[in-house]
Amino acid sequence: MFIRSERLFLRPGWPEDWQELLSRIADESVVRNLAKAPWPYTAEDARWFASQPQDERLPHFFVTLPTSAAPAELIGCVGLGEIDGEVELGYWFARDHWGKGYATEAARAVLRLAKVLGHRHLVAGHFLDNPASGAVLRKAGFRPTGRVRERYSLARGCKAQSVEHRIELGRPSDCDGGGNDADLASAMRAA
């Protein structure tokens, strides 16, 4: 699967991407905000992640920044996973690409795909000491649940408080509508 958004191109990772992946994620300020990535992040970790097969229901993407020069620059990763039986959105971006709206844009692209795949809602979280990630989630449409829970961070080597968020996606058939049958019927009549 591939996704094109306004400024980004989301694509599957390939085993030969491991070196570029390592050069982008091998930054403690990036990895410490993730639950499942180790620190230090090694070449073996990058090789393993870049070679992971895609799950059709829970895809993950390398986020690239298309340019006139080839190949497109890898700037982060976004995808779906599972936590406690629910589908979770996760992402990271290289530090030199923070604050440019790329995380929100990539998250929105994956949310549209998640709805098409039939997911009715998603969860996401951010560590309490990473409020910028909470801002990304809110801009993408997630709402805080009011729940703060302990979540283990492999990079930190301990549990840290995570602020939980949720988004309702609605039915796959209304992916271009406002999320309810009345809005969909109204849009159909207007067309």
Tell me the residue type at 32. Answer: R
Q: Looking at the predicted structure, is the pLDDT value of residue 70 above 80?
A: no
The model's pTM? 0.88
With cut-offs at 50, 70 and 90, classify the pLDDT of residue 184. Answer: very low
Q: For all residues of the chain together, what is the average pLDDT?
A: 91
What CATH architecture does domain 3-190 belong to?
3-Layer(aba) Sandwich (3.40)
Taken in order 128, 113, 57, 24, the sign of the CA dihedral is negative
The number of angstroms, rounded, from the C-alpha of 139 to the middle of its chain's C-alpha atoms is 13
Q: Looking at the predicted structure, is the pLDDT value of residue 36 above 50?
A: yes
